[in-house]
Structure 1
Amino acid sequence: MRERQSLESAINSVRELETGISDNLELIELGEAEGDSEVVAEAVAALETLAAHAARMRVETLLSGEADGNDCYVEVHSGAGGTESQDWAQMLFRMYTRWAERRGFKVETVEYQSGEEAGIKSATIQVKGHNAYGWLKTESGVHRLVRISPYDSQARRHTSFSSVWVYPVIDDSIDIEVNESDCRIDTYRASGAGGQHVNTTDSAVRITHIPTGIVVQCQNERSQHKNRAQAWDMLRARLYELELQKREEAANAEAASKTEIGWGHQIRSYVLQPYQMVKDLRTGVESTAPSDVLDGALDPFMEASLAQRVGATLGEDE
């Protein structure tokens, strides 16, 4: 149902866009024929709005990764620098919360560790909404702030660092498929207590999953059929557990690869003094309104990062 709703929404958006373009082109022709410049101006303005909407839709097409449609976790960690860095971490925490709220996503605070005097040492939010991970995945990295510190009695300029890590929420309701050709099934007589029937018939079942070497066996039931069914359930559970272990190992490997929170590793700089500028060091996208960016206006930075990741350039062929 989730996939169906996503597809229906995409199709309806394209249809609405096509209708809007067609209707406004007809209005322009009608206005020009009747010499009504006001109608023409309104139609042109509507087409410009549609063009901006089409650009946003184009970005949505970049969100085609396996986990892009998932909810996600956003972790913020302060770097070295004490109170100043912890205050910067809280500013980032608020920035992502505001961005998510602007898009109508639901935000839940999962973990929050306050700083010693102000700010936070670390915090984690869960962002719930369609393509939440797809939008936020390029925000992982170190973020640098330059400003006059409110915590410095001499009003000196300070540089602070905090790290952001984004990872998807994995849907654990997965369906484990097991090929019977990959398994060896043995039946044998159960041992131990259980009565004459259990001890004298081949009711116990052992299943060996050859690719992984996992072995499960069941002899609880008097019926071989019931034991076999339960053994298959046990095997699926073991394979599911193995998959979870692989995920955890992959997550740990990614966590271990996170770089030092400091110089040379930042993805974006936020400069409040001596001038005002936010610049993404990967894409070159800039904003001269850092207060807007810190209030959640992150879409231009995310769009450029997504386009760069898939080797596309927003605005080409336009």
Structure 2
Amino acid sequence: MFPTLEPQLARYAELEQQLYDPAIAGDPVKAGAIGKERGALAKIVEPYIEYKRLCRAIADAEVMAADPDLKDMADEELADLRPKRDALHARIEEKLLLDPSEDYSKLIIEIRAGTGGDEAALFAGNLYEMYTRYAREKGWKIEEIASSPGEAGGFKEVAFGVTGDDVYQLLRYESGGHRVQRVPATETQGRIHTSAATVAVLPEPEEAQVEINEANDIEWERMRAGGAGGQHVNKTESAVRIWYKKGTPDEMEVKCQDGRSQGKNYEQAMRILRSRLFERQQERIHRERASMRKEQIGSGDRNARIRTYNFPQNRCTDHRIEFTVYKLDAIMAGALDQMIQPMRDHVKKEKLAANGAK
């Protein structure tokens, strides 16, 4: 019955009452802080309130089922209520296993073409379309940030923002190497080629979470953008390249050219840089934790191959959990839950086992 959630439920009710207090309602700072805390608690407390309601309804229906005259009606009600309760139980269980420090609603996804030349860039474009279709189905907001088109289509590199409820929890295990096996359009002998792209899922932190000293840590230059994009992209020096700690082992380079102004490109490049640095911090924390609990699944290592997309066989395989489905056409059209949920179930099972062993 999740007794550990009762204190949070009590706090949630307390905050609800405070929001009706005229003294607090008249203070924007206090009201804002209370509203923010209430919003954070609502993610776990509101499902818990509904779960308790379902449990009460099920208990009442079970009492009714003992009466022969009411049994049929009660059984019908129970057949509807029990699956809802069980689904909500699983959802709350997942929320309780979630580290509050990893509950991000905004992230940046970077996709880069790997080995395979033009075909790799085309595949990177396919992955971009797959993720944006999935995001739209979930009702998430998508924001174009930066891209470098491939010569034959697709992308050499593309970065875009995704914002919405549970966005990080659903996409966090997508980081890594993605391999495609198919016959390229340019292949005249019908031979299957193998190409690759990498995906990085980067939580977008608040500025306070990643400190960058713009005077000492970065160097930047403006330049003329290259590639497709029309007259503006090719004729103005609005593109921006930023180097973070140039010449050191921590060096990082970010380039952005899609915006129509230098200021906009600088702002977008800094967002990418901040997210990459935050990812680096999180990877270090993960490695430290993983060394203690011997758990590597979902580490976010973009060098590790996580999935193969085999078009001739309409097959998609997640190599981390040895899971395969033969519905690749649906997956590429955005039906990504059939690959995401088995991975989440696997991680949940491992976490529950680890918690039980403590």
TM-score (norm 2): 0.57
Greater relative contact order (Cα < 8 A, sep 6+)? 1
Instruction: Tell me how large the CA RMSD over aligned residues is.
Output: 3.6
CA distance in 2, matches of 1:286, 1:39: 40
CA distance in 2, matches of 1:160, 1:95: 17
* Equivalence for 1:138: 173
* Equivalence for 2:332: 294
Q: 2:152 aligns with which of 117, 127, 148?
A: 117
* Equivalence for 2:83: 48
* Equivalence for 1:17: 51
The one-letter amino acid of 1:144's match is: R
Q: Does residue 269 of structure 1 match 2:304?
A: no
Q: Does residue 5 of structure 1 match 2:32?
A: no
Q: Does residue 283 of structure 1 match 2:283?
A: no
Q: 1:169 aligns with which of 191, 200, 204?
A: 204
The answer as to whether partners of 1:149 and 1:158 remain within 8 angstroms in 2 is yes
DSSP-derived class of the 1:166 partner: strand
Q: Does residue 159 of structure 1 match 2:187?
A: no
Quickly say closer, same or farther: Cα 1:302–1:249, change in 2 above 3 A.
closer
Cα offset for 1:253?
A: 11
* Equivalence for 2:116: 81
Cα offset for 1:102?
A: 2.4
The one-letter amino acid of 1:296's match is: G
The one-letter amino acid of 2:91's match is: R
Give structure 1 stretches of 5+ with no counterpart: 177-243
The one-letter amino acid of 1:294's match is: M
Give me the identity figure in percent.
25
Structure with more of its chain in helix, by fraction: 2
CA distance in 1, matches of 2:189, 2:209: 57
The one-letter amino acid of 1:62's match is: L
The one-letter amino acid of 1:75's match is: E
CA distance in 2, matches of 1:11, 1:49: 17
* Equivalence for 1:105: 140
Quickly say closer, same or farther: Cα 1:166–1:249, change in 2 above 3 A.
closer
CA distance in 2, matches of 1:259, 1:134: 17
* Equivalence for 1:312: 351
TM-score (norm 1): 0.63
DSSP-derived class of the 1:97 partner: helix
Cα offset for 1:142?
A: 0.2
Quickly say closer, same or farther: Cα 1:2–1:127, change in 2 above 3 A.
farther
Quickly say closer, same or farther: Cα 1:290–1:298, change in 2 above 3 A.
same
* Equivalence for 2:259: none
The one-letter amino acid of 2:47's match is: S
* Equivalence for 1:208: none
The total of aligned residue pairs comes to 242
* Equivalence for 1:94: 129
Cα offset for 1:254?
A: 6.6
CA distance in 1, matches of 2:167, 2:196: 24
C-alpha offsets along residues 153-197 of structure 1, whole Å, 9 cap, x if unaligned?
333222221100111111014699xxxxxxxxxxxxxxxxxxxxx
The answer as to whether partners of 2:105 and 2:164 remain within 8 angstroms in 1 is yes
Give structure 2 stretches of 5+ with no counterpart: 1-34, 212-272, 285-299
C-alpha offsets along residues 50-83 of structure 1, whole Å, 9 cap, x if unaligned?
4234323433333325243241110001112122
The answer as to whether partners of 2:210 and 2:278 remain within 8 angstroms in 1 is no
The answer as to whether partners of 1:28 and 1:44 remain within 8 angstroms in 2 is no
The answer as to whether partners of 2:205 and 2:278 remain within 8 angstroms in 1 is no
CA distance in 2, matches of 1:254, 1:75: 16
Quickly say closer, same or farther: Cα 1:249–1:61, change in 2 above 3 A.
closer
* Equivalence for 2:60: 26
The answer as to whether partners of 2:142 and 2:163 remain within 8 angstroms in 1 is yes
The answer as to whether partners of 2:309 and 2:316 remain within 8 angstroms in 1 is yes
Q: 5 Å matches for 1:183-262?
A: 248=277, 251=280
CA distance in 1, matches of 2:50, 2:203: 31
CA distance in 2, matches of 1:159, 1:89: 13
The one-letter amino acid of 1:285's match is: F
The one-letter amino acid of 1:26's match is: D
Cα offset for 1:297?
A: 3.1
C-alpha offsets along residues 70-122 of structure 1, whole Å, 9 cap, x if unaligned?
41110001112122211211111112212222222211010122211121111
DSSP-derived class of the 2:195 partner: strand
